Every structure is written in structure tokens, then in C-alpha cells.
């Protein structure tokens, strides 16, 4: 598909939203204020009727797509990405959640870093954690030390707080795998891009923050582990996922004893249900018994 030369240097931003009218207004405005924004599309994942009734007015002039159910982050983003791909506007699409806050020059800095890198298919902003997203074949998504202080820093996958995808890359590898619902979908996309010969990176200095998380601890623990097991099975094979499953099982009793040391999103119950559903082949939206 031919793109419009006047918009090739601009980015369409897809914002995935659910029940955060206060945050979505600030996020949309922050992207509209960027000189590299061609337009903003808000995909609403079945927010409350009260929120949906005022959403279009709150985020104008952004376009709004109302989903009939909570699709999750990856599937919700796919709705907006498909609209962008049909439009033929621009070479890049940005994907972000409803509470991200980019610095005023973030998109322009990213575009300038990839302008002479035609082999880069996925790239993300700098979340300020001093880490480089990589994938271990036996553990899944982990953090490593950055290789540069400024500019393009090679990574295995883009950070989901704010990532950009090149049109040609998505046309070749496809969109987010909707089995993931949320978490690990960007890692899966990065692995598929690498297999097709595309590079991925983080642009150091192109800043974005993600001030809040509203999901429950059990839900986050469930999705992170279940989707890690799916990713390892799909990309590295049964021995790798067997190792990670056994490790997770061993970590559950240890985590119950030393829970504070395991981190903010540690939930033995969520992790046990994640292993259960992975073994049963249950993916997509989390089941009703995950709180």
C-alpha cells in the first residue's frame, strides 16, 4: 500500500482505554501536542456506560472506537491498528495504554533515531528504568543493562508503555497474538519480528511514564506467568516451557514464606491458576475465578 508522503514522517497513535476518563484526557492531549502525531485513535474496552457516553467529547478530536467487551490490551490495540492499516496514513503506528505520559519530543526523537534504520520494525520509548528488555529462552522476559546512554539501544522486544511498529513489519508478521490478552504480547511480537529479520530497540532519552496500574495483583501475576509459558512453548519448545513451569511450581511455596521479597505483583494463587490454565490450553481473557 502506498502511503501519503505528507504523513510519512508522522505517527498515528492508538490508545487502549478502559474506565480511566481522567487519565485518557491527559494522555490523548499529550500525544496531540506532539509535532509528529498524525492522529489519535482511542479504543475503548467496554468502559462503564457513564464513561462511554462522554468519551468522544472528552478526547476530541481523537477518533473513538467502542468495543463490545473488554478485549484486553493486545486485541484492543489490534482494532485500532487495523483501522490505521486500512487508512494508509504514515509508516508508523504507536500503541500505548490510557495512562501513558510522553515527554513533548518523544515521538520526534524516536522517528529521528529510526529514520536511517530501515531494518527496524519495532521500537519503544524510554520508561526510565535503566533496563533493556530481553528474552531468556528458559525464563521469558527479563531486564538487562542498557548498551547505550542515548539514542537507539538494541532490545529483544518493545516496551508496551509506548511502542511504535512499522507498517511493512506488521504486514509481514501480523498483529498482536490475541491469546495473550495482556502482558507478553509485545515480547511475542518481538520474537516474530526477529524471526522475519526485523530489528527492535529502545530509544534512550525519548521518555514516557506510566504513573498507575489498576489491575489486581492476582490478575497481573496470572497473566504474566500464563503468557510467559505460552510464549516459551510457542518460540522455544517443550523443554524450555517445562523448565519454566517446574521453576514456577517450586517458587510458589517459597514465595508464600518470603512474599515481600518476591515483588509487588507476587500472588501464589494467581501463579497456580496460570500454570493450571496453561496446562489446559486456556488463553485469552482471564477466567472468572481470577480476581
Residue 69 sits in a domain whose CATH number is: 3.90.550.10
Domain containing 226: what range? Answer: 217-280
Claim to verify: residue 140 and residue 225 sit in the same structural domain? no
Helix (H, G, I), strand (E, B) or coil at 137: coil
CA distance 82 to 187: 20
DSSP sequence for 62-116: SEEEEESS---HHHHHHHHHHHHHHHT--SEEEEEETT-EE-TTHHHHHHHHHTT
Asked if residue 112 belongs to a domain, the reply is yes
Classify the C-alpha dihedral 183-186-187-189 as positive or negative: positive
Say how many domains are in the chain: 2
Mark which of 209, 239, 271 sits at the end of a domain: 209
Asked if residue 263 belongs to a domain, the reply is yes
Cα–Cα–Cα angle for 63, 67, 69, rounded to 5 degrees: 155
Q: Provide the pLDDT for residue 126.
A: 97
Claim to verify: residue 129 and residue 16 sit in the same structural domain? yes
Claim to verify: residue 159 and residue 19 sit in the same structural domain? yes
Claim to verify: residue 45 and residue 125 sit in the same structural domain? yes
Query: Which three cell numbers mark 85?
Result: 492499516
Claim to verify: residue 10 and residue 29 sit in the same structural domain? yes
DSSP sequence for 210-247: -----S-HHHHHHHHHHHHHHHHHHHH-HHHHHHHHHH
Claim to verify: residue 119 and residue 58 sit in the same structural domain? yes
Claim to verify: residue 129 and residue 170 sit in the same structural domain? yes
Q: Provide the pLDDT for residue 203.
A: 98
Q: List average pLDDT for each run of 10 residues in the chain, which is 291 residues long.
A: 52 97 95 96 97 95 96 98 95 97 97 97 96 97 95 97 98 98 97 98 96 73 96 98 95 62 66 96 95 81
State phi, psi for 179 to the nearest 5 degrees. Answer: -65, -25
Asked if residue 290 belongs to a domain, the reply is no
Amino acid at each position: 500500500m502506498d502511503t501519503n508522503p505528507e504523513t510519512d514522517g508522522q505517527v498515528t497513535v492508538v490508545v487502549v482505554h478502559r474506565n480511566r476518563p481522567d487519565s485518557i484526557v491527559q494522555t490523548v492531549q499529550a500525544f496531540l501536542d506532539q509535532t509528529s502525531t498524525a492522529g489519535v485513535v482511542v479504543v475503548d474496552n467496554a468502559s462503564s456506560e457513564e464513561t462511554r457516553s462522554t468519551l468522544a467529547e472528552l478526547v476530541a478530536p481523537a477518533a473513538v472506537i467502542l468495543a463490545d467487551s473488554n478485549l484486553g490490551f493486545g486485541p484492543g490495540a489490534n482494532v485500532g491498528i487495523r483501522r490505521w492499516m486500512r487508512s494508509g496514513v504514515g509508516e508508523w503506528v504507536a500503541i500505548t495504554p490510557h495512562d501513558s505520559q510522553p515527554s513533548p519530543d518523544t515521538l520526534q526523537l524516536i522517528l529521528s533515531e529510526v529514520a536511517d534504520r530501515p531494518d527496524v520494525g519495532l521500537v519503544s520509548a524510554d520508561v526510565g528504568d535503566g533496563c533493556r528488555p530481553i528474552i531468556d529462552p528458559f525464563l521469558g522476559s527479563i531486564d538487562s543493562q542498557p548498551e547505550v546512554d542515548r539514542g537507539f539501544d538494541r532490545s529483544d522486544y518493545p516496551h508496551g508503555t509506548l511502542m511504535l511498529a512499522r507498517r511493512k513489519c506488521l504486514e509481514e508478521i501480523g498483529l498482536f497474538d490475541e491469546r495473550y490478552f495482556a502482558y507478553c504480547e509485545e515480547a511475542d511480537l518481538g520474537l516474530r519480528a526477529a524471526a522475519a529479520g526485523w530489528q527492535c530497540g529502545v530509544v534512550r532519552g525519548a521518555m514516557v511514564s506510566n504513573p498507575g496500574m489498576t489491575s489486581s495483583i492476582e490478575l497481573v501475576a496470572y497473566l504474566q506467568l500464563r503468557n510467559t509459558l505460552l510464549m516459551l512453548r510457542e518460540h522455544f519448545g517443550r523443554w524450555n516451557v517445562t523448565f519454566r513451569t517446574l521453576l514456577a511450581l517450586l517458587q510458589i511455596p517459597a514465595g508464600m514464606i518470603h512474599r515481600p521479597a518476591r515483588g509487588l505483583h507476587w500472588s501464589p494463587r494467581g501463579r497456580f491458576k496460570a500454570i493450571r490454565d496453561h496446562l489446559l490450553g486456556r488463553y485469552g481473557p482471564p477466567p472468572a475465578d481470577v480476581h
